[in-house]
Structure 1
């Protein structure tokens, strides 16, 4: 009798064995993808492909692909797998140039998922594809010209000065502070005033509304292992993102953000309130279909003057709806406060660990500000050449986004070969790996701003240094972000010095749970008043 009772369990075990066998066979066939195409590849592990360390949150995303980049040494490109998904990894700057510029028509889309119904904030410029992206990019480009950024300069400057003033007591007492958070308070206030047209006072109140929202968007989840499981499922089946609450941002945050933006737009429109900020430019775009020009426009990744056709630039078949407007404010907020705050804090750590660089930069700041009577102006910021070098080296070591994503939109033959890439294939450009390749940057772990002196930077292959991307999809907010970061650094360094303290993390590690480049454990540094008097 007992023997007979075993049969149902035997059937279950047999069924499970068959399913496992089928899965093994399916994975084995899938992992022959690159081999069947004659493309060099890194041997994958069952189920995880080549991204096990990332999905288990042991290694940051960009560093995972840096290791794969190294394994493909000797090849200009190679195949890897993220779970089951085949990815072409590019290694050669000239080949990268082809993909990003010359053959852009094959790779104009990123790999993001746009879901207008379940996730309205996903339809932002970073995610959008095809014609919709092109039309919106052309419409938004005039909002990020030098003239428009200069228009917002005073708003940013007020936030920088407020941050500096707020730190007086801390400097007097020589306190050790966590600078990622301090910088995020500053950049949150900048984005608050330039994007929302509102004072959120994050510098004075770190628990202000917008600052709390920022932490929710980029903070570590309560259950990181659950996020890992959802991340793996959504990676294979993107349509399940709404069901698993794996969309970014979450539905609760998305609903709150949409409500806030709509209230601000309604208030401005009903009361005819106008400010010199990003929100006003978007409202103008919504109501008039265009933004007033200041004789410059960003087109195809480069600034051109009066050389475009207005009929091409202002296309009326793409309407700036409330949701589309909110999505652009959202990506401006996330990109503006998080990436700039990490850049500021990474830079301060490097300056603290390299006091000779810090003092040299302070001398330049002093010299330029003496010429302006101590006034920080838009022109003064751009005269600081060594500050440019320090920023460039910071972005080399800590690019905010360590990987560029592209999707092949139509069958493509790799230049100089007969190898083809199928439409729909993901293509990754490993920025971090390129930035740490000693072939392009000798002693890559060393912080050396002189790499970017005029006589030296021309020796760097252009497409080996890509902190903001390149080509038509170059970061549209690049110049805004650079001005915001430079203003913050000048406001701090003209008055204060930064030193390592007992809490400083050496060596600095990158958080494996963060998609963007973020420090693990924060950036702790001591702030003191400058030891030499400031003569301005």
Structure 2
């Protein structure tokens, strides 16, 4: 048999295919003993998909709760072939997110090559993340937020006018708050005032909704960046950096070009972020010089502005929807909140930044909503340097992902007795002091927590105060007994069927 006959033989091809499949199988299962060898429990993985097969058909929040109940506070999981340590143990959370943060600086590594996206705080790593985070933080000081609160207040009044115009006496809360939070982002992050925001054909809402709840979350395609991130970087990035996302990129580019020729002050995020990032310096030969060029500054500003939209649109709309749902379901809580607002108005002309600074019951209600319905279902870190815990019993090597299932954590009986009861009294100063701060992670914890937390709280407090002052929420026949969320591999809870009755006070 000559060489050509040998190479073209069906037997040769069969052996080659089988050998390649075997090598691939060994590669994708090579780490499947990682947790077993350490005595760490967890679901049994399957080749190629680990424990992720079928997630696009599940309800993510309910799935996470079931895993924690079955396997405990610390267990192993596999994102495809990659080990992922899940934790709801508070001492471990404290160690990984705060005490040993230098070993867990990065989030899951999604390598983006596209301009703007590659500068998002959520994907930056190491020293570059530290530099950009430090430069952006001054944009969220109390003073800067106070200036942006004037823009938020305008949006709140516009929201109230829109609700007052409803003639049926009921609203689809998620749709109403989608329009409101996008209005806030248009004003505060993009510097735009859009009169028809929320209309059926409005491009802002249309493009944003596709970004936040794309069809891929209910298909196996959503698993690619989690199971095989290198393949995602090579072939999948174009699916994420979609035409809908590019719509907002173009909007920002046009905005920055117009502003470069204007001296007008806007007091919005673009302006304050540009000022803060431009002021960030480095030492070169003993002299302080700008850290970045003008072109780099514009890319960082655009990156954080679009991230502002991504982080603030759906999460805030979901939280406001959940808040109004619980107020409708618990009229005694709604009445108590209303009374506290009316009492506070004796010392103020109207609801404003100063008004909401000392509203303890309002804060209790919002914190309980964020406990019961944390908008972000999970949070993650990636180990950058090997480290051990529990006297060497738990070894975490560089590259391993750490996941905290926030929704499951917030619904654990050990940390929150009777967790399925909505109870703002959990957040009185006395009750809060009895509980570890690491049992609440709606905004994350540690140095890499949510940089926009103060802004989000400002927006939600102003909206809830004004709405409860002007309207009463109540249940109607379409209102479900329990707030329901869409299935699919969702990173943010997606309320469905949130129909509420509403009337003017």
Map 1:247-262 onto structure 2 (within 5 A): 249-262=240-253
Note the C-alpha offset of 1:15: 6.4
> For 1:245 and 1:254, how far apart are their aligned partners in 2?
15
TM superposition score normalised by structure 2: 0.90
Name whichever of 498-507 and 405-414 sits farther off.
498-507
Q: Does 1:528 align with 2:503?
A: yes
Note the C-alpha offset of 1:165: 1.6
Structure 2: gaps (5+ residues): 1-7
> For 1:25 and 1:245, how far apart are their aligned partners in 2?
25
Note the C-alpha offset of 1:207: 3.4
> For 1:143 and 1:230, how far apart are their aligned partners in 2?
36
Q: Aligned residue for 1:67? A: 66
Cα–Cα, structure 1 residues 509 and 21, in superposed 2: closer, same or farther, change >3 Å? Answer: farther
**Contact 2:378–2:491 (8 Å) recurs in 1:** no
**Contact 2:278–2:297 (8 Å) recurs in 1:** no
| Matched residue SS, 2:370 | helix
Q: Aligned residue for 2:303? A: 327
Residue deviations 1:222-249 (CA, integer Å, cap 9, x gap):
x665xx3322333333233366455574
> For 2:87 and 2:371, how far apart are their aligned partners in 1?
18
Q: Aligned residue for 2:262? A: 271
Q: Aligned residue for 2:147? A: 151
Q: Does 1:381 align with 2:381?
A: no
> For 1:315 and 1:258, how far apart are their aligned partners in 2?
28
> For 1:315 and 1:345, how far apart are their aligned partners in 2?
46
Residue deviations 1:285-304 (CA, integer Å, cap 9, x gap):
454447xxxxxxxxxxxxxx
**Contact 1:110–1:129 (8 Å) recurs in 2:** yes
Q: Aligned residue for 1:509? A: 484
**Contact 1:265–1:283 (8 Å) recurs in 2:** no
Cα–Cα, structure 1 residues 12 and 178, in superposed 2: closer, same or farther, change >3 Å? Answer: farther
> For 2:448 and 2:11, how far apart are their aligned partners in 1?
57
Name whichever of 515-524 and 394-403 sits farther off.
515-524
Q: Does 1:426 align with 2:426?
A: no
Note the C-alpha offset of 1:330: 0.4
> For 2:423 and 2:244, how far apart are their aligned partners in 1?
40
Q: Aligned residue for 2:5? A: none
> For 2:182 and 2:289, how far apart are their aligned partners in 1?
33
TM superposition score normalised by structure 1: 0.85
> For 2:217 and 2:343, how far apart are their aligned partners in 1?
48
Equivalent residue for 2:345, pick from 369, 377, 395? 369
Name whichever of 11-20 and 99-108 sits farther off.
11-20
**Contact 1:50–1:82 (8 Å) recurs in 2:** yes
Q: Aligned residue for 1:181? A: 175
**Contact 2:380–2:402 (8 Å) recurs in 1:** yes
Q: Does 1:194 align with 2:168?
A: no
Q: Root-mean-square deviation (CA), in Å?
A: 2.7
**Contact 1:42–1:71 (8 Å) recurs in 2:** no
Cα–Cα, structure 1 residues 168 and 256, in superposed 2: closer, same or farther, change >3 Å? Answer: closer
Note the C-alpha offset of 1:435: 0.5
**Contact 2:119–2:300 (8 Å) recurs in 1:** yes
Cα–Cα, structure 1 residues 337 and 395, in superposed 2: closer, same or farther, change >3 Å? Answer: same
| Matched residue SS, 2:266 | coil
Note the C-alpha offset of 1:376: 0.8
Equivalent residue for 2:387, pick from 404, 407, 412? 412
Note the C-alpha offset of 1:17: 5.8
> For 1:32 and 1:425, how far apart are their aligned partners in 2?
14
**Contact 2:54–2:220 (8 Å) recurs in 1:** no
Note the C-alpha offset of 1:80: 1.3
| Matched residue SS, 1:183 | helix
Q: Does 1:58 align with 2:58?
A: yes
Note the C-alpha offset of 1:112: 3.9
Name whichever of 36-45 and 479-488 sits farther off.
36-45
Residue deviations 1:228-273 (CA, integer Å, cap 9, x gap):
3322333333233366455574242343322221211111111222
Name whichever of 190-199 and 507-516 sits farther off.
507-516
Q: Aligned residue for 2:124? A: 128
Note the C-alpha offset of 1:418: 4.4
Structure 1: gaps (5+ residues): 1-6, 291-308, 531-536
> For 1:341 and 1:453, how far apart are their aligned partners in 2?
25
Cα–Cα, structure 1 residues 526 and 477, in superposed 2: closer, same or farther, change >3 Å? Answer: same
> For 1:48 and 1:204, how far apart are their aligned partners in 2?
40
Q: Aligned residue for 1:214? A: 208
Q: Does 1:488 align with 2:463?
A: yes
> For 1:50 and 1:167, how far apart are their aligned partners in 2?
44
Q: Aligned residue for 1:304? A: none
Note the C-alpha offset of 1:189: 0.9
Cα–Cα, structure 1 residues 111 and 527, in superposed 2: closer, same or farther, change >3 Å? Answer: same
Q: Aligned residue for 1:48? A: 49
**Contact 2:110–2:225 (8 Å) recurs in 1:** no
**Contact 2:197–2:205 (8 Å) recurs in 1:** no
